[in-house]
Amino acid sequence: VFRIVLLSPLLLGLAVFAGSSKPPAKSAKPVAASATPNVVIIYGDDVGFGDVGVYGSKLIPTPNIDRLAAQGISFSDGHCSAATCTPSRFSMLTGIHAFRYNARILPPNAPLIIPTDKLTLPKLFKQAGYQTAVIGKWHLGLGVTGELPDWNGDVKPGPLEIGFDYSYLLPNTNDRVPCVYLAGHRVVNLDPADPIYVGKTLADVQKPGSTQYPDGKTNREAMTVYQSTHGHDDSVVNGIGRIGYMSGGKAALWQEDELTDVFVGKAKEYIAAHKDEPFFLYFASQDIHVPRYPHKRFRGKTKLGHRGDAMVAFDWATGEIMKALEKHGLTQNTIVIFSSDNGPAYDDGYDDGSVVECSQEESDHGHDASGIWRGGKYQIYEGGTRVPFILRWPARIKPGLSDAMVNQIDFMASFAALLDIELPADEAVDSRDTLDAFLGDDPIGLEFMVEESFGLALRHNDWKFIEPSKPKWPKGRLPIAMALHDLGDDPSEQVNLAQVHPEKTAKMNAMLQNVKKG
């Protein structure tokens, strides 16, 4: 109770916002909603519920995201489907639970995990005549199972084979090699005289004729930007230790502090080039994933070190995309969705200045990145998947707040409904049409849904059932016992009611097992 009282300003913040959110003043006459609105998903990486002003952040200014929220619907119970990146992205793009395909966090060189014959979100939009693009972090694998991707040739299959017409990527994560951009099938700026090799060990990549990078395991002093705190000690590229080894590609290396600018630049170009036709743009920012090293114009903008400053950079990026839409007269008929792939992490492998003051409360310099929700990235608690979730479509929706339970896995069925496309029964099998909730017409949304981390949980209205599991990561996490929580009374999942309500527990467990069976 103490915890809830203590943190209630967050809820208050949402309430205040509700009271003050007026529809934007209409000077021009209202524009009719198009049957094929542009759709832009601005997808954060590890952005927590409490990292956004409108969701209660006091220490990180996010004026652009807040403006988006003031013109759209902010969901208080909006979820990514899993508490880590690859599974959430897999589910959002396929409408299938990641656990069915064993979609876990991928290492460098992992093959594409979305089967090329599956229906995907971009393929759905293409059926309706859209142009489709992904810009930013991929982390869904590249290449064929059983073979290593050829970083010096055509890197495929990848996004272009699962429905995107255009792609400009960071192949894995910004803490994984190779640290290069991939445009379509090709590494950008690759010098054939300095071929790229990627592997699990130093020996895999020690090939004559390619630039060699220091091995973090034996050269910690090469980590000049900051030291790694766990893992991230394979190749040291740009003074930062990475996951995985690489050699070569020196001319192709990205610059850490330019990632945000480069992706924003590509998004602006894309919007300008496609302003006259419907498009679906999946803008997958690497912010605020580690290694955080925002451009110097953002550094010091918060008291929270690189983590907070990276969030300021992401807010700027959001504003730039909104400006680009405005510039081309696309604001009214573009659906902009702002969300994240999993809850927040502080020290996720580097000594970058984000401090966990108390592991129970998980607060960074007094900033609680998951708000009142327990836990964050990697965890089965609400903080793992309950993330900022904002949808703006001025031509169609009324701005406001919604407590409807919604999930990114339902984009497939919901956009199919919007575009009047019938989904085949064997596609997007876990996706349900919640379009009315997304558009603010249904205040309830989902009655039940699955949340995924190392184990699974089931939400049924305000109830939450957590199945027992053994978290693999971060190391040292204790096994999770079976739990039942009443989020209505206990939003921070402090009281386990499994013994108090054995029947409810059994019923929800049965529901979960039922979903698992498919």
Contacting positions for Ca ion (CB under 5 A): 45-46, 85, 341-342
Q: Mapping DSSP to helix (H, G, I), strand (E, B) and coil, where does residue 9 land?
A: helix
Neighbours of 494 (CB within 10 A): 13
Contact partner at residue 367 from Ca ion, ligand NG6, none, CB < 5 to 8 Å by partner kind: none
Category of 238 on φ-ψ map: left (φ > 0), alpha (ψ -120 to 50) or beta: left
CB-closest chain residue to ligand NG6:
231
Q: Which amino acid does the sequence have at 412? A: M
Q: Which is nearer to Ca ion, 45 or 427 (CB)?
A: 45
Q: Which is nearer to ligand NG6, 89 or 301 (CB)?
A: 89
- Residue 300 CB, shortest distance to Ca ion, in Å, is 25
Spatial separation of the C-alpha atoms in residues 406 and 1, rounded to whole Å: 26
Neighbours of 510 (CB within 10 A): 11
Q: What angle do CA 97, 98, 104 make, to 5 degrees?
A: 165
Residues in touch with ligand NG6 (CB under 6 A): 45-46, 84-85, 105, 139, 173, 175, 230-232, 243, 289-290, 342, 348-349
- Residue 313 CB, shortest distance to Ca ion, in Å, is 16
Q: What angle do CA 387, 460, 514 make, to 5 degrees?
A: 110
Contact partner at residue 51 from Ca ion, ligand NG6, none, CB < 5 to 8 Å by partner kind: none
Q: Which is nearer to ligand NG6, 290 or 417 (CB)?
A: 290
Nearest to 182 by CA among 112, 235, 243: 112
**Is there a cis peptide before residue 178, judged by omega within 30 degrees of 0?**
yes
Q: Which is nearer to ligand NG6, 294 or 440 (CB)?
A: 294
Contact partner at residue 234 from ligand NG6, Ca ion, none, CB < 5 to 8 Å by partner kind: none
- Residue 111 CB, shortest distance to ligand NG6, in Å, is 17
Q: Mapping DSSP to helix (H, G, I), strand (E, B) and coil, where does residue 351 land?
A: coil
Contact partner at residue 464 from ligand NG6, Ca ion, none, CB < 5 to 8 Å by partner kind: none
Q: Mapping DSSP to helix (H, G, I), strand (E, B) and coil, where does residue 381 land?
A: coil
DSSP E strand stretches across 400-502: 400-407, 448-452, 456-460, 463-466, 483-486
- Residue 182 CB, shortest distance to ligand NG6, in Å, is 17
Neighbours of 224 (CB within 10 A): 10
Q: Which is nearer to ligand NG6, 132 or 173 (CB)?
A: 173
Q: Which is nearer to Ca ion, 234 or 341 (CB)?
A: 341
- Residue 46 CB, shortest distance to Ca ion, in Å, is 4
- Residue 343 CB, shortest distance to Ca ion, in Å, is 9
Q: Which is nearer to Ca ion, 171 or 399 (CB)?
A: 171
Nearest to 470 by CA among 379, 390, 400: 379
DSSP E strand stretches across 45-180: 73-79, 131-137, 166-170
Contact partner at residue 432 from ligand NG6, Ca ion, none, CB < 5 to 8 Å by partner kind: none
Tell me the DSSP string of 269-337. Answer: HHHHHTTTS-EEEEEE--TTSSSP---TTTTTSSSSHHHHHHHHHHHHHHHHHHHHHHHTT-STTEEEE
Q: Which is nearer to ligand NG6, 45 or 368 (CB)?
A: 45
Q: What angle do CA 316, 137, 320 make, to 5 degrees?
A: 20
Phi and psi at residue 52, to the nearest 5°: -115, 135
Contact partner at residue 139 from ligand NG6, Ca ion, none, CB < 5 to 8 Å by partner kind: ligand NG6
Q: Which is nearer to ligand NG6, 172 or 492 (CB)?
A: 172
- Residue 447 CB, shortest distance to ligand NG6, in Å, is 28
Structure tokens at 159: 């996004």
- Residue 295 CB, shortest distance to ligand NG6, in Å, is 21
Contact partner at residue 243 from Ca ion, ligand NG6, none, CB < 5 to 8 Å by partner kind: ligand NG6
- Residue 46 CB, shortest distance to ligand NG6, in Å, is 5
Q: Which is nearer to ligand NG6, 228 or 402 (CB)?
A: 228
Q: Write out the H or E segment, with its range, that includes residue 504.
A: helix 502-517
- Residue 134 CB, shortest distance to ligand NG6, in Å, is 15
Contact partner at residue 382 from Ca ion, ligand NG6, none, CB < 5 to 8 Å by partner kind: none
Spatial separation of the C-alpha atoms in residues 357 and 102, rounded to whole Å: 34
